[in-house]
Copies of this chain bind each other. A is one copy, B any other.
Amino acid sequence: MADTGAADQLAPLSVSETPEAKFREFLEIRGEKLTEPRRVLVRQIFDTHKHFDADELVRDVHDSGHAISRATVYRTLRLLVEAGLLRELRLTNRTAYEHDYGYPAHDHMHCTVCNRVVEFRNDEIRRIRDAVSRAHGFRPAGHRFLITGVCSACSRAHSPRRRLDLI
């Protein structure tokens, strides 16, 4: 139902390790295992999705013929966030995810009419983040900058073609 994959996206970075390799590495350090369900999920996520939520991932994985339980999906998503492969986005009350590996740092514009999410890069933001942090003795680990409003398509045509539930 949620076309959470519909983000206008930036070009991927080239990274040396595959997401799967990076995940295995992370798991090995913690004495945990890269199992078949986890492999399937990583593949599904990094081959197909951009922005998505747990529900959509469950659906897509089932559609491609794999029977992975909801519980495992949730558990794996948490691991992928801890591993630095995914990042949580909290535009609404359900948690959405986006790639955090092999992808440049960026921020988002969220059109509240068609729900589309557009990514953009702006280096000044990081500069401000660091300056503000320094001024407050705050040690920054990350930031989120989200612009909400109406995208060009929606303010031009007043007949939004897509009003989807999420992201």
Q: Which residues of A are interface residues toward B (Cβ below 8 A)?
A: 90-93, 95, 109, 111-112, 118, 120, 122, 124-125, 128-129, 132-133, 135-152, 155
Contact = CB atoms under 8 A, between A and B. Distances in A.
Contacts of A155: 137, 139
A142 B148 contact: yes
Q: How many identical subunits does the complex contain? A: 2
Contacts of A118: 136, 138
A142 B149 contact: yes
A143 B139 contact: no
A109 B138 contact: yes
Contacts of A91: 90
B142 A144 contact: no
Given A124-B124, A124-B128, A140 B133 contact: no
Given A95-B93, A132-B147, A138 B152 contact: yes
Given A124-B124, A136-B152, 9 more contacts: A109-B132, A120-B132, A125-B128, A137-B155, A138-B152, A139-B150, A140-B149, A143-B146, A144-B146
- 7 A-B pairs closest in CB distance: A137-B152, A140-B149, A141-B149, A139-B150, A144-B146, A143-B147, A90-B90
